[in-house]
Copies of this chain bind each other. A is one copy, B any other.
Amino acid sequence: MKISGTSLGLTTTDCIVTLDPSYTLLEFDSLRELPAETESLMPESTPVLRQASGGLCSICADRATGKHYGASSCDGCKGFFRRSVRKNHAYTCRFSRQCVVDKDKRNQCRYCRLRKCFRAGMRKEAVQNERDRISCRRDGQGVGTLSISVLLQAEASTHQYLSSTPLMNCDITAKKIASVGDVFESMKQQLLLLVEWAKRIPEFCELPVDDRVALLRAHSAEHLILGVARRSLPYNNIILLGNDFIIPVSGPEPEVSKVAARILEELVRPLRELDITDSEFACLKTIIFFAPDCPGLERSQTVRRLRFQAQVLLDEATFEQRGRFGELLLLLPPLQSVAWQLVEQLQLMRLLGQASVDSLLQEMLLGENVARGAALQPGSNSEVLMFNQHAGPALSRDLLGEHVALPCNFTSVILPVPSSLPGVPLLPTQTGTDLYTHGQEENMPTEIANNLPVPAVHTCL
């Protein structure tokens, strides 16, 4: 140490020369701090709070607040030294570098004050790097424009119907087992809520209408499954539908129970172990929703960015627990898998004539672009058989170069964000009402109704 001593007063003789910015040439090594030891002799008996240390500042003889940077000093000299070193200030003495530095005159010559700081034993090495700020600027995190609060609000808005009926039948044993019709009914409700949910996300509303439709269709089955899994978290061996019906694992319908069992085992169980939070759920849903590989997407890059933002939000919401982010993302493959099985069951039931599939379900879940009430599009039978969310009609057409443009004449009817109340046909307060089949046109805003027939999803937007 004492390297400064070696470079001792060599060049510092002319009075006008500015201090070397890096302070390496300073000769002030003749440290003679007098009162440094006094304080150590003093017992702690002095109850004076702050500048209790009985010493004096070895630079200006003000009351010292302790040792700073190597010298007993006051707060003023401490701050002065730190600022000088941090900003690498180069001061000049206007006189002959012999200025008096005391409590009253210490601000009259910075050059001489700094020189005295060094002489008193302050070392510039003791000044640290700038640190993080302490103050609290509560600004939301997030990379882009997506924010957790918006996502949480969107999520909350789609639950308002349920929560409005306070604690609606919390007793599971009192709930009725869902028939196939009840399941379809619930699915329709949830799909409509999904549309509502999406419309609460401004970034979604700014996409072209075709992209909006494509996104809504792309992973709707996964959203259904994810939603039902989450709703069922508090219960054991039971799936709770949105319309308050239940599906027991060992229910009457083997096809239904099969899917239910997988939901419970592969989704509910891990979700429960993770004890997923609302924020996490909101992010996960958004990640699933903004699917950049969704076929026919015009703004694929935008969607990719949105998904990126969502996954970074999730990462940030989970960083306290190592591995949690990954575990949450790793729920997506099984979710997709279960969703697939659900769609397959649907297809099968429709093929076997066991159920009439509503047009909304047909369009969103089965991926078919049907006009309401119109017949099935011809020529897609084999594709239905080997249905696959991605290889459905849309993508197949795409890959075969048979791209069929989605109807674009409905742009005018798109309501970017629901202004006040959701303008959607509402959820029934009592379950069991088929709110869509045959009864929907009347409930729709007239400007949409005028354009009938249109694919169902378009009418919801």
Task: Name A's B-contacting residues (CB within 8 A).
Answer: 2, 4, 8, 15-16, 18, 21-23, 25-28, 30-31, 33, 44, 49-50, 91-94, 96-97, 104-105, 107-111, 115, 118-119, 121, 123-124, 128-139, 141, 143, 254, 258, 261-262, 265-266, 273-275, 277, 279-280, 287, 293, 307-308, 311-312, 314-327, 329-330, 332-334, 336-338, 340-341, 344, 347-348, 385-386, 388-391, 396, 399-400
Contacts and interface: CB of A to CB of B under 8 A. Distances in A.
The 7 closest A-B CB pairs, nearest first, are A311-B326, A329-B329, A107-B131, A15-B136, A266-B293, A344-B386, A110-B132
A311 B293 contact: no
A326 B396 CA distance: 29
30 contacts: A15-B136, A16-B134, A18-B138, A21-B279, A22-B277, A22-B320, A26-B320, A28-B275, A28-B321, A92-B139, A92-B141, A97-B316, A107-B131, A107-B132, A108-B129, A108-B131, A118-B319, A119-B322, A143-B323, A258-B391, A262-B390, A266-B293, A287-B330, A293-B334, A308-B323, A311-B330, A330-B332, A337-B388, A337-B390, A341-B388
A258 B399 contact: yes
A274 B44 contact: no
Contacts of A287: 330
A365 to B, nearest CB: 15
Nearest to A275: B28
A104 B129 contact: yes
A interface SS class: loop
Nearest to A219: B333
A1 to B, nearest CB: 8
A72 to B, nearest CB: 14
Contact of A312 (B22, B49, B317, B326): B326
A115 B118 CA distance: 39
Nearest to A344: B386
Contacts of A318: 22
Nearest to A400: B254
